[in-house]
Amino acid sequence: MALSCAGVFSHLPLVRLCGLRTNGITAGLYPLCISSQARHYSSSKVRRGIGRHIASRLQWANNKYENFLKRRFPRFYQLYHTFVEGVKLLMQDASEVRRIKVMMHSDGVRLDQLPYRDMEKLRQFRRDIIKAIPLMMISIPPFANYLVFVLMYFFPRQLLIPHFWTPRQTVEYRGVYHTHRAQHHLAVLKGLEYTVGKVKDGRLQSHLKHLCTKVQSGAHPGVSEIHAVRGLFSGPPLGLRRMGVTQMRHICPLLFLTPHLPGFLIGSRLRSHALELLMLDHALLRLGPEQLSDSEIRQACYVRGLNSDSHDIKKCREWLSQWLRMSSSLKESEVSLLLHSMVLLSANYSNSQNRR
């Protein structure tokens, strides 16, 4: 993809390359001050003309290169095009995040006061950039971008962020990630079932047992049934500060967090992500979920535990509305229920739709 400087300059008009000599001839016909201004003006004009010509030739060569790839190596061209467009999207997101940060600093706006889209942009960009940094470092050395293309071809899901996925890959990989997440649903439910024996309040014990039995049998619970046990999630035995480490490790994959950390770190990370999710819900309620586009609805459902690509958009909107009814009245001390609801509300949603 490298271009030859000689090839570019060979196409320059002769008069542009000889501009200084022309200036030298005209200098003898005018006073010194006027000839000096003329030389400055003419040389500046020539430099701009050369710059425009070089830019146009580079653009022409790049278009030729892309057309060559498209004809001879269509699969490689797809990688190349996806990479270029991904970089553009990443730079746009970086510019948008910078704007949000400047606005927060200058106007004294707190994170929980941001509009929903700004809050979601910060959340997603932080996660994307952490994953993108290694690949960006690899691509810095000369010609290392070809190594990046190889990695993109063989390990797109593991190494690339969604900016560098094709639409088909986005649906496919989100399905793979959700499958990994869903493998831990049963363990989370078993942990809740094990907790039933530790509940001293008979009414709450009965409600929790009924909820676990209903979800394990393949039924989809209602919001009222989840709210009936919310008191158990603010203190022992299911509050984030009182929950067993084993149950916290089962919840980590729901948020795509590693469970292989000390218990106190896992608890801190879960609390941070749960509070962030609760702030997003409150911001979305202020905006109104009906204001979201179809792609935003699918993304919002996916973040909260639903495999949104397996449902039509109407069902996704209904599920998100149900989720917001569940989370709208929760306090910060009850965010553990928010995390468990990623299983309670999503595990059997497909089954509930099939039975209608």
Gap between the Cα atoms of 240 and 272, Å rounded: 11
Q: What is the reported pLDDT for 42?
A: 53
Gap between the Cα atoms of 314 and 244, Å rounded: 38
Tokens matching residue 320: 């998100």
Question: Do 266 and 243 form a contact (C-beta atoms < 8 A)?
Answer: no
Residue 274 shares a structural domain with residue 199: yes
Tokens matching residue 316: 């996704």
Is residue 355 in some structural domain? no
The domain boundary, picked from 30, 57, 72, lies at: 72
Gap between the Cα atoms of 335 and 13, Å rounded: 70
Cα pseudo-dihedral 237, 239, 241, 243, rounded to 10: 40
Cα angle for residues 248, 274, 285 (degrees, 5° grid): 150
> Is the pTM here over 0.85, yes or no?
no
Cα angle for residues 221, 227, 232 (degrees, 5° grid): 115
* Residues in the chain, pLDDT under 50: 1-41, 355-356
Q: What is the reported pLDDT for 68?
A: 67
Residue 344 shares a structural domain with residue 310: yes
Q: What is the pLDDT of residues 12-57, one digit of tens each?
A: 333 333 333 333 333 343 333 334 444 444 566 666 777 776 777 7
Where are any strands of DSSP class E within 175-236? none
Nearest to 80 by CA among 150, 149, 159, 143: 149
For residue 46, which amino acid is it?
V
- Counting the structural domains of the chain, the total is 3
Query: Average pLDDT over the chain, rounded to whole?
Result: 83
Residue 113 shares a structural domain with residue 247: no
Q: What is the reported pLDDT for 293?
A: 96
Residue 45 shares a structural domain with residue 117: no
Domain that holds residue 153: 74-162
Q: What is the reported pLDDT for 38?
A: 42
Is residue 296 in some structural domain? yes
Is residue 174 in some structural domain? no
Residue 23 shares a structural domain with residue 85: no
Is residue 134 in some structural domain? yes
The domain boundary, picked from 102, 129, 162, lies at: 162
